[in-house]
Amino acid sequence: MIAVMRVLLAMFTLIVMQACTSTPTANTSNAHQPKILLVNSNRAIPRYNTAEEAFTEVLTEALENELLISINLENDERPTETLQDILNQHRFSAIYCIGAKALGSVDYIGPALPVVYSSVLNWRKFQNKPGYFGVTSEVAPAAQLAWFKHFFPSVKRIGILYSEDNQALITDANTSANSLSLTLQPELLHHKSDRKPQISRLLNQVDALWVLPDPLILDSEQHTMQLFKLAHTLRKPIFTYNSFFMGFGATLSINADLATTGRQAALLIQTLHEQGAPTSGVQFPAGSSISLNLRKVSDNNLELNIEAFSSVNELLDE
């Protein structure tokens, strides 16, 4: 079981770090009309593929006169060259990027086109960048905190490990936490080889740990496994943003609906065409699901609000 978990975690870490590397493929058509370029970091990743399928479905209905060219960067070791060639060959009206490899490559080229993105962990880096519009990879912090309180009313102090890139999230989350009578205890991590003392100190001071989509916190298999092991040893529940972590002992996960992010990205494209730039450059997913691990509820001796059961989409007891 440990070996299987390590393999799964290694795969997830690759996704988090975006070390996606297959020969790009494209669907092309009439070169004389404006087109939308869809750039997928790795179509073999289910959540990326789900977003692309949902985007394409809505786009077909919303923008009937638009044509779509899709590029898969799965094993492309020179993605910027591939994309530059495509941009030189066609006249596009907008670009949709799925995943950090796609967005980073497009950003490096810097095309004078609106760029829409989703499934990107470090999206805050682009939230104030002109011409960039995105759907976040996680449910809004305020909504996550409200669910945490609803499920576990006795949890009052929640620890957070974060890097400097997520400072804005911490500020927003603190405001939401105060309105819910919750106390957040953020712990800023730097690039250190030994995180154990800092993490252990934080866990001993809080009722639960909230794992954020932070590339530095989840930068390797070793660090991620260490984080969960320390929390389990100290019997501290972990709340997360992705159901993947349930297999490693997370207690509760508030998950963004993958298809919804693709649909929202398509609607952003439509808005850009019909109304111009939207007021906000970033949207949180409109749909979500909830995963709950009853075994961890028991192991961590948590008080569970029975009325919250009706909201659970995925229930685990192992």
Same domain, yes or no, for 269 and 307?
no
Burial 33-54 (b: 16+ CB within 10 A, else e): eebbbbbbbbbebebbbbbbeb
CA distances from residue 198 to 79, 174, 281 in whole angstroms, order as listed: 38, 21, 35
In CATH, what number is assigned to the domain containing residue 27?
3.40.50.2300
Same domain, yes or no, for 127 and 269?
yes
Task: Kindly state whether residue 3 falls inside one of the protein's structural domains.
Answer: no
Same domain, yes or no, for 43 and 71?
yes
Same domain, yes or no, for 181 and 240?
yes
Same domain, yes or no, for 171 and 300?
yes
User: Residue 266's pLDDT is what?
Assistant: 93
Same domain, yes or no, for 214 and 228?
yes
Residue 99 CA to residue 21 CA, distance in Å, equals 12
User: Residue 165's pLDDT is what?
Assistant: 78
Whose structure tokens read 């309180």?
Answer: 149
Same domain, yes or no, for 153 and 216?
yes
pLDDT along the chain (318 residues), means of 10: 49 46 44 77 94 91 72 94 94 94 95 94 86 92 95 96 85 92 92 83 96 84 89 96 90 93 92 84 91 95 94 88
Contact 282, 129 (CB under 8 A): no
Contact 292, 239 (CB under 8 A): no
Task: Kindly state whether residue 7 falls inside one of the protein's structural domains.
Answer: no
Same domain, yes or no, for 250 and 312?
yes
Task: Kindly state whether residue 6 falls inside one of the protein's structural domains.
Answer: no
Same domain, yes or no, for 56 and 94?
yes
Task: Kindly state whether residue 58 falls inside one of the protein's structural domains.
Answer: yes
Task: Kindly state whether residue 265 falls inside one of the protein's structural domains.
Answer: yes
Task: Kindly state whether residue 5 falls inside one of the protein's structural domains.
Answer: no
Same domain, yes or no, for 75 and 178?
no
Mapped onto helix, strand or coil, the DSSP state of residue 73 is coil
CA distances from residue 34 to 59, 72, 92, 270 in whole angstroms, order as listed: 14, 20, 5, 14
- Per the structure, the complete domain to which residue 311 belongs is given by 141-255+288-316
As for how many domains the chain has, the answer is 2
